[in-house]
Amino acid sequence: MDSTKTSVTFLDGCVVEKDIYLFSCRLDSQPIDEYDLGIIEWYVQGKWIYQKRDWQVSSVCVMRPTPTEARRASIALEEGSGIVGLYWPGAKATDDGVLPGAEDGHGIASLTDVKQIGTALYVCGFGGKVFRRSSGKWAILDQGLKAFDLGDYMKQGLPIKQALVAASNTQRNMNAIDGLSEQEIYCVGRAGLIFRFDGATWIEVESPTNANLHCVHCAADGWTYAAGEPGVLLRGNDKGFQALQTGVNDDFYALTSFNGLVYVGGLKGLYRLEPDGLHAIDTKQGSFSCVALDSADGQLLVVAERWLLVFDGVNWKRIDDPDNV
């Protein structure tokens, strides 16, 4: 792969602090089936900084200071290596954490989301995989969520053809994770799956849909929101979830809150949930695919595939990656 950065497609993004943002990207020049290269970028008050990684980065977040770790870190989750990169301010090298099971280069496929919840980092992925980093150490946290896989069924004595069918019917492929606290965490995924972690084990929550859910957001009002395709938006808690009538023909991939309202990002643009329903937001950019949303320090970050928008509650500001212009 050429060592010179060329145009990119944004995959995820988050607010580090006011006017500083972190993104995961994919080079447009990469073959469609190539994942052994990832790009992360920082936008720092008008300046772009990028760094390559050895695997595509599926998710980024910021780890805010905690009682046990006083420094802030930028976090990059590699999709298939089982490695989570921690970028500490001022450090000369990346602090790469290896998830349990990924040792010696074994890797872990299809890791989808990383979030800080409480004082810990959480990672989820396909096959019901969940990991937690607490006090600097990663551990498996899939009690009640991890599904039987092919190997489990074959150990039970099933022939390989029957084991393949059984495994395909029980896979819990999770796309996103978020939490109100470390005793109330939600994980959502394909076929409408919703699981809740109570601090000890994962319990499946009844879902009103079998549509794929791509994102989840635990809002400050105590409600948890999940969204997916086609136009599915759910709201609920440990008692259950209900579908909100959106009237929107779009697939949703991002959720966040800003100034007390929930924002939803879809393949056709940006929406805001108001008391009378879900409304499209005119950002003066026309139709665009929203891949990520985040908010912090008085700013709403909207990540499109080629550029980003920042909203301060009054004005919209578009920022272009110079390699995409």
pLDDT digits (tens, 9 = 90+) for 50-67: 999 999 999 999 999 998
Kindly tell me if the per-residue pLDDT of 127 is higher than 60: yes
Mean predicted lDDT score pLDDT of the chain: 93
Task: State which H helix or E strand residue 162 sits in.
Answer: helix 160-170
pLDDT of residue 325: 85
SS3 160: helix
Classify residue 118 by its DSSP letter: T
In 3D space, the residue among 217, 313, 194 whose CA is nearest the CA of residue 264 turns out to be 217
pLDDT of residue 3: 40
Residues 188, 226 contacting (CB under 8 angstroms): yes
Pairing of strands 224-228, 233-237: antiparallel
Inter-CA distances, 15 with 87, 248, 311, Å = 15, 27, 12
SS3 8: strand
Helices (H) and strands (E) in the chain, counts: 2, 28
Kindly tell me if the per-residue pLDDT of 194 is higher than 70: yes
Tell me the backbone φ, ψ of residue 161, rounded to 5 degrees.
-65, -45
